[in-house]
Amino acid sequence: MLPPARTRRPLRAAAALALSAALLTAGCVSSGDAARDEKAPAPSLKGFPVTVDNCGVRTTYDRPPSRVVTIHQHPAELMLALGLRDRMVGTAFPDSAVLPGLREDFEAIPELAQKEPSFETVLDTGPDLVYGGYGSAFAENEGRSREAFADAGIDTHLNREYCGEKRVTMEDTYDEIRTVGRIFGVTGRADRLVADLRGRVGRAAGAVRDEPEVPVFVYDSGDKTAFTAGGKSLGTELIRLAGGRNVFADLDDVFGDVSWEQVVERRPEVIAVYDYTGAGSVEQKKEFLLAQPALADVPAVKNRRFVVLPLTATLVGVRSAYAVEDLARGLHPESFR
């Protein structure tokens, strides 16, 4: 389920990396300088061309993209975490509060639409790459297919989570970061970011390694039925790393509907509530769950044990590593005292 639009909150990366001097000066070379360096490759083109196979689309980048539109929040956060603010000319579809360290930079990028922008709106920014987070970024029925962008001379990249091939894991997050690093010629930054995120996950997972596994039910939304995270979702892996078990890990999909009777039968001890606008606030979701007589004897409801996660923290992007620690603290608070 795609979250509805959310009003952007201000943000900026206190530690965002600036573009290298080589990249900055490469765009300001005089004709005389160019003549003198005619046979020497520009520093910004080192390692190029780069060819990427992405969800069935093969793209060769002769140089790093310089005018990028991101559709959905998690691709924007990933780019900002790699210090690529100056390559971004537009974002769209914010759906959660952005990481505090990225707040100001995120706010500085023009917002093209609260949901997916029209094809024409994207074209008006003059992009050379469109980077989508959900498959709906390139919805053919809305005129934004990858083929349509290709016909307009614009490259596209889709977050690998929506290639629909297999179960998503943290390795997909690390691979996505490295791939984006290659596309933009910042492989060193990508490697450092992956190392930092691996360290975060490792520390959180290590703190709860010897703790008993906690059964967890993910509540995204729904009243007649419960819309929850299935076994192919990254959320299932985050719960496992945090010392828990998704009680619907056997659901063979990223998301799906289950009955409340099934929730009762599986007796979760903790409920992970996904937070995003458009499906009610976190407090409204908690109140709904607590008010259901059928759920009264479910351990998580009876003991009021909830963990709140921004939806974007459960997707392939920089937020997922932080989500492991938040989950681990919620499932095993005694391990962090």
What is the 3-class SS of 28-45, one letter each residue?
CCCHHHHHHCCCCCCHHH
- Pairing assessment for the beta strands 68-71 and 155-158 based on DSSP bridges: unpaired
Where do the domains of the chain lie? 26-165, 212-336
Binned at pLDDT 50, 70 and 90, residue 23 comes out as very low
CB atoms within 10 A of CB 121: 15
pLDDT digits (tens, 9 = 90+) for 273-324: 999 877 789 999 999 999 999 999 999 999 999 999 999 999 999 999 999 9
Place of tokens 């000066």: 25
Among the ranges given (144-153, 162-171, 301-310), the one the predictor scored with the smallest mean pLDDT: 162-171
CB atoms within 10 A of CB 149: 21
Strand partners, 54: 57
Phi/psi-derived region of residue 266, left when phi > 0, alpha when psi is between -120 and 50, beta in every other case:
alpha
pLDDT digits (tens, 9 = 90+) for 68-109: 999 999 999 999 999 999 999 999 998 888 889 999 999 999
| Whole-angstrom distance, CA of residue 159 vs CA of residue 157 | 7
Q: What is the CATH topology of the domain spanning 212-336?
A: Rossmann fold (3.40.50)
CATH architecture of 26-165: 3-Layer(aba) Sandwich (3.40)
| Whole-angstrom distance, CA of residue 168 vs CA of residue 245 | 16
- Pairing assessment for the beta strands 306-310 and 270-275 based on DSSP bridges: parallel
Judge whether 26-165 and 212-336 match in fold: yes
| Whole-angstrom distance, CA of residue 22 vs CA of residue 265 | 60
E strand or H helix at 325, and its extent? helix 319-331
CA angle (5, 307, 266) in 5-degree steps: 105
pLDDT digits (tens, 9 = 90+) for 189-230: 999 999 999 999 999 999 999 999 999 999 999 999 999 999
